Structure 1
Amino acid sequence: MAKTGLFFGSFNPVHAGHLIIASYMANFTDIDEVWLVVSPQNPLKDKKGLANMYDRLEMARLATELAEKITVSDIEFKLPQPSYTIDTLTYLHEKYPGREFVLIMGADNLASLKKWKNYEVLLKNYQLYIYPRPGILLDEWENHPSITLTATPQMEISSTFIRKALKENKNIQFLVPDQVIVFMDSKNMYR
């Protein structure tokens, strides 16, 4: 059964940090492929400053079009908003019965997992592959049977940092794929 890693995010915009995480999970763990699941809106995040979801989807597609084991999914665009991970997983499970889905998330998300809708069900039914985040301790989760702590390379790049850099007209080459920079420039995004 194909093991598909689901990497949920706003990708506002997608950047090198996201891509390194996705690539590491697809190539250095037992996950067969990674889907970047572009979220229209995260229930725990402020909507202000969020670019149009179709633009964010397009940027994720542009960033991954040459990637072998990374695909982009707009599955949450078709579901009620805001989207809760557990509901999306239930839907995907029914739609693709031949796949095993695992969740890819940052240590920061795991640290706040108990705020998530039905988080106990998530832990009972799904594996979580965690990438480290600077300064986040996960002692309480260390030996949990559903949780795999990975050695994904850490980078302190965030979409917030990228948006701020664009506002200040700074050069973001290598932080964001070239084709995504061209797309953002063509639409004057985050300026």
Structure 2
Amino acid sequence: MKIGLYFGSFNPIHIGHLVIANHIAEHSDLNQVWFVVTPHNPFKNKRSLLDNYQRLEMVYRATKDYNKLKPSDIEFSLPQPNYTINTLTYLQEKYPDYEFALIMGEDNLKSFHKWKNYELILENHDLYVYPRISKGDIETQFHNHNKVHFIDAPNMELSSTFIRKSIKAGKNVRPMLPEFVWEYLDEMNFYK
């Protein structure tokens, strides 16, 4: 089984995240996409970041009707601050029969060469890169790499920051969120 790992704070998860993850799950050799909710970094003051389990709950609600999309709290139990290489090592030990790949936007590929042990990640894992409207060129060293797969996913320029600011300003953001996530946010009065 080949699993794509889609890391993020998902604060909140929105339809852009779902469109990209579902597209990659349906149009690549991945069997599933796991939304890996990244925990709150205890060394950073992020007042706008909801609790780990509230964000996991939103991902659960957003993905429950998609059999190829799964929420993951795998990083909650790892020492913080954490690096992707540690998560991949942990997952490979926990699920030795699974093959894990990373899903990232083109903008993240640009700084991938700065990631801890990026060479080791590339040696052992595929990267699935979706397009982003970005300023500047993408790191060309990865363009012809046999482990880097560019996926022609729909370009979704929607940000969780924009959604949080809009909610705070009293704007209607309902069309940008999965219905179950909207209901949860509204019920809990998050980001107001």
TM-score, length-scaled by structure 2? 0.93
Is the 1:41–1:82 Cα contact (8 Å) retained in structure 2?
no
**Alpha-carbon distance between aligned partners in 1 of 2:156 and 2:182, rounded to the nearest angstrom:** 19
Secondary structure of 2:175's counterpart equals coil
C-alpha distance in 1 between matches for 2:45 and 2:111: 16
- The residue type paired with residue 26 of structure 1 is A
Match of 2:187 in 1: 186
The aligned residue for residue 50 of structure 2 is 51
* 1:144 positional shift: 1.1
CA contact (8 A) 1:102 1:127 kept: yes
Match of 2:151 in 1: 150
| Aligned residue type for 1:161 | F
Shift of 1:48: 4.2
Q: Secondary structure at the match of 1:124?
A: helix
Indicate conservation of the 8 Å contact 2:6/2:34, yes or no.
Answer: yes
- Aligned residue identity for 1:122: I
Aligned alpha-carbon RMSD (Å): 1.6
Counterpart Cα distance in 2 of 1:28 and 1:46: 38
Letter in 2 for 1:189: F
Q: Secondary structure at the match of 1:179?
A: helix
C-alpha change, 1:33 and 1:42, in structure 2 (3 Å) is farther
State the shift of 1:68 in Å: 1.7
In the TM superposition, residue 140 of structure 1 has moved relative to its aligned partner by: 3.3
The corresponding residue for 2:66 is: 67
Whole-Å separation in 2 of the counterparts to 1:151 and 1:41: 31
Identity of aligned residues (%): 52
Matches of 1:82 and 1:110, distance apart in 2: 21
Q: CA deviation at 1:46?
A: 6.8
Inter-partner Cα distance in structure 1 for 2:63 and 2:152: 22
Whole-Å separation in 1 of the counterparts to 2:70 and 2:45: 26
- Find the counterpart in structure 2 of residue 119 from structure 1: 118
Partners of 1:78 and 1:117 lie apart in 2 by 20
How far apart, in 2, do the equivalents of 1:152 and 1:92 lie?
26
Per the TM alignment, residue 111 of structure 1 is displaced from its structure 2 partner at its CA by 0.6
Within 2, Cα distance between the matches of 1:133 and 1:63?
22
Q: Which residue of 2 aligns with 1:162?
A: 163
In 2, Cα distance between equivalents of 1:142 and 1:47: 35
Contact 2:40-2:51 at 8 Å conserved across structures:
no
CA distance in 2, matches of 1:148, 1:100: 15
CA contact (8 A) 2:39 2:52 kept: yes
Aligned to 1:35: 34
CA displacement at 1:22 relative to structure 2: 0.7
Moved more, 118-127 or 130-139: 130-139
Structure 1 runs not aligned, ≥5 long: none
Report the Cα offset of residue 83 of structure 1: 2.0
Unaligned runs of 5+ in 2: none
Aligned counterpart, 1:171: 172
Distance, in Å, in 1 between the alignment partners of 2:30 and 2:41 is 25
